[in-house]
Amino acid sequence: MMFCKDIVKEQAEKYDSFYLYDESQIVEQIQKLKEHFPDVWFLYSVKCNCNSSVLHSVFSQGFGADVASAGEVERVLDAGLGKESIYYSAPGKSTEDIKDAIQNSVLIADSIDEVERIQTIAEQMNMVAEIGLRINPNFSFNGNQGMPSKFGIDEEQAITFIKEQDFTNIKITGIHVHLRCQELNADILATYYENILNLSKRIQEVNPEPFTFINMGSGMGIPYADGDTPLNIDKLGRLVHKSLSAFRDTFPNTKIMIETGRFIVAKAGIYVTKVVDRKVSYGKTYIMLKNTLNGFIRPSLARLIAHYSAEQSPKGSEPLFTSIDAFQFIALSDKTPLEQVDLVGNLCTATDVIAEDITMPYLECGDILIITNAGAYAAVLSPMQFSTQPQPVELFVNLKHEVKI
């Protein structure tokens, strides 16, 4: 475990459940990306963890922001970024969202209807909006045929639309594609990026404005389960560099962007909870923990899916579910005898279970349990209002080892 046990124990004196984010691990992941992808600019996907200390830390390293709501635009402005570093891409933007964000972010239109509404609003505001289009390409993440999607504008539709449009208050200056998260195969990712570069050439051919950016979306995964093979970032970096070198001959000034959330923060976060009760029922031992489903929902969802799926390894469905063994449960106790137990939470629902028949040290009230991989899609996804429990706090350990709330 990379977290300092003393810090965990110290904070557990004050809080029964909390998140702990470690800045040194965030910075380490960022450095890896910068080193292996020198010709790419990274955007941090704020939706995965919008904690303000995390935002400040990531942006201080030169990342831009991938935001998915007008609210996230506000958060990112507060964290010090300017319009040119904020890319707002989400389906279903309302007219209000567009009005709120048009002057503070680069809007990525998700539909033709949205482009038309941006035009109307830009005209009313007497401005020319430089926007991107999110494209649903005619290829899939794995390189097969394109598929219907609620995200983006189909490639052929976009090409026809661009050829016919004569908007006065809009310039299309880039494209965005995002098809999937959590890929661990460098070859699949490299081919996907290469396909996007080719797509951007097809669209650029009909677009009157030169593209200033190509946003290739996310996709880089992390090892969650003990048996997962980490993404070979060195190989991916080399493959991307090769594709980009050729691309740069024709597009020397276009910014190439990749979005990333979990790659930099998921493993930098842990969730800490405490034993609040224990009991034996018909021979089964239950260890009751504070705020599990309602504090960090993903481990409970993994159990739920394991129960309902006929498959041994059900397919991931991000960001709610990665795999049934995506989290490690580490007790800060070495009491014996070891026991086989179910780890459950303190909610009035039988679905509040995070592990079944797991071997743990002997656990009793007050003992501390750590859940790993809690830096992304964790606090932001969890139903903390459920049952009016005291909510877990989010703590941030900075590079000087100071703990901030």
Note whether 243 binds ligand PLP by CB under 6 A: no
Note whether 290 binds ligand PLP by CB under 6 A: no
How far apart are alpha carbons 81 and 89 in whole angstroms? Answer: 16
Note whether 181 binds ligand PLP by CB under 6 A: yes
Structure token pair of residue 104: 């503070």
Cβ-proximal residue to ligand PLP, closest one: 261
Q: Which is nearer to ligand PLP, 146 or 361 (CB)?
A: 146
Give the contact letters, 255-284, x = binds to ligand PLP (CB under 6 A), - = no. Answer: ----xxxxx---------------------
Alpha-carbon torsion (220, 223, 228, 231), positive or negative: positive
Q: How far is the CB of 218 from ligand PLP (least distance, A)?
A: 3
Note whether 345 binds ligand PLP by CB under 6 A: no
Q: Which is nearer to ligand PLP, 15 or 271 (CB)?
A: 271
Within 13 Å and on the Cβ side, how many CA atoms surround 260?
23
Are 296 and 322 in contact, with CB atoms under 8 Å apart? no
Alpha-carbon torsion (76, 318, 240, 251), positive or negative: negative
The site for ligand PLP, by CB under 6 A, has a size of: 16
How far apart are alpha carbons 254 and 200 in whole angstroms? Answer: 11
The CA–CA distances, whole Å, from 305 to 294, 321, 324 equal 17, 8, 7
Q: Which 113-172 residues touch ligand PLP, going by CB under 6 A?
A: none
CA 218, 19, 228, 309: dihedral to nearest 10 degrees?
-90
- Give bridge partners of residue 131 from the DSSP assignment: 172
Q: Which is nearer to ligand PLP, 262 or 303 (CB)?
A: 262
Note whether 322 binds ligand PLP by CB under 6 A: no
How far apart are alpha carbons 349 and 352 in whole angstroms? Answer: 6
Which residue of 16, 22, 66, 130 would you call a contact of ligand PLP, by CB under 6 A?
Answer: 66
Note whether 109 binds ligand PLP by CB under 6 A: no
Q: Which 44-63 residues touch ligand PLP, going by CB under 6 A?
A: 45, 48
Q: Which is nearer to ligand PLP, 178 or 298 (CB)?
A: 178
Chain positions contacting ligand PLP, by CB under 6 A: 45, 48, 66, 89, 178, 181-182, 217-218, 259-263, 319, 376
